[in-house]
Chain A
Amino acid sequence: MSLQYLKDAADRGDAEALIRYVRLHLGDGDEARGRAEIDKAWVEALKPLLDVPPTDRAFIHETLATKDPATLAHLFFDLHFYLVKRSGEWIHDGNL
């Protein structure tokens, strides 16, 4: 999808078009696979927290308080790939 297509979808509030694009991006062109990858990332995000280990809450707070929304959104995509790679099940053809 072109950037203009996505901007038009955002302007008219077409969330389905936007999430479809995200699924295609994360699934390398396969929407169903992208949906599964999103689920996988959330499972991988949950697992390290189940034992409630200490985490760097100050870092998280400072990052969220000081970084611009685009950087944080970009980080969100990076975290997705970090988490799915951490799962050990890598569906992509290439490398990060």
Chain B
Amino acid sequence: MTATSSDRGQLRPGLWATVNERYPGSMITKRDLVPLARLAKPLAESRLTFVSTAGVQPKGTLPFDVAHPVGDYSFRRVPSTATPADLEIHQLKYPTAGANRDLNVIFPIERLRELAAEGTIGGLTPSFFSFIGYNMDPERLERTLAEEIAAAVAADGAEAALLAPA
């Protein structure tokens, strides 16, 4: 796990207490933080990947398992060339009405292609990566899903990653 802005203080005081009251034991303490990596070169020269918990996936792939009470620890590759019409959302835990009208509000695949085309971003990896964020086993999440996505991202030649929780 990487270091986060939580080191600088919490934006919504009391939020964790509410979460702990509703979902006892769900908050974890992480001590072996990995520092965020710095860009080796400017973003305009870097190949970017996108990792999202939005539950976006190519049509025809096995839907994310939103029924399982402990979560789904798989991920889907989303071709960075895909159009919104090629994709669909399988996720129960956030409102998808807006994203169903314009997928870019949650999974900005067209915006990223535009930024790459205009040179703001050096390029895009062949695949983006998607999974669902409702997972009750953080150790399994880190041991399997996070490691597998990290390996796939590295194999895709990513030099920068945009991480977006849904």
- List the interface of chain A (C-beta within 8 A of B): 1-6, 17, 21-22, 24-25, 28-29, 74, 77-78, 80-81, 92-96
A90 to chain B, nearest CB (A): 10
* A24–B140 CA distance with the chains assembled, in angstroms: 21
The tally of CB-CB contacts under 8 A between chains A and B is 70
B152 to chain A, nearest CB (A): 24
| Contact, CB under 8 Å: B136 / A96 | no
B19 to chain A, nearest CB (A): 10
- List the interface of chain B (C-beta within 8 A of A): 22-26, 28, 55, 63, 66-70, 88-97, 136-138, 140
Contacts A22-B69, A25-B69, A94-B55; A2 near B95 (Cβ below 8 A): no
| Contact, CB under 8 Å: B70 / A93 | no
B82 to chain A, nearest CB (A): 18
| Contact, CB under 8 Å: B93 / A94 | yes
B37 to chain A, nearest CB (A): 28
With a CB–CB cut-off of 8 A, which chain A residues contact B22?
Answer: 24, 29
With a CB–CB cut-off of 8 A, which chain A residues contact B92?
Answer: 28, 92-96
With a CB–CB cut-off of 8 A, which chain A residues contact B138?
Answer: 2
| Contact of A2 (CB < 8 Å), options: B68, B69, B136 | B136
| Contact, CB under 8 Å: B96 / A2 | no
A73 to chain B, nearest CB (A): 9
> Closest 4 interchain pairs by CB?
A5-B25, A3-B137, A93-B95, A2-B25
A-B contact pairs, 25 of them (CB 8 A): A1-B136, A2-B26, A2-B138, A3-B140, A4-B25, A6-B136, A21-B69, A22-B69, A24-B22, A25-B69, A28-B93, A29-B23, A78-B67, A80-B67, A93-B94, A93-B95, A94-B55, A94-B89, A94-B91, A94-B96, A95-B88, A95-B89, A95-B96, A96-B63, A96-B66
Contacts A1-B136, A2-B137, A96-B92; A74 near B67 (Cβ below 8 A): yes
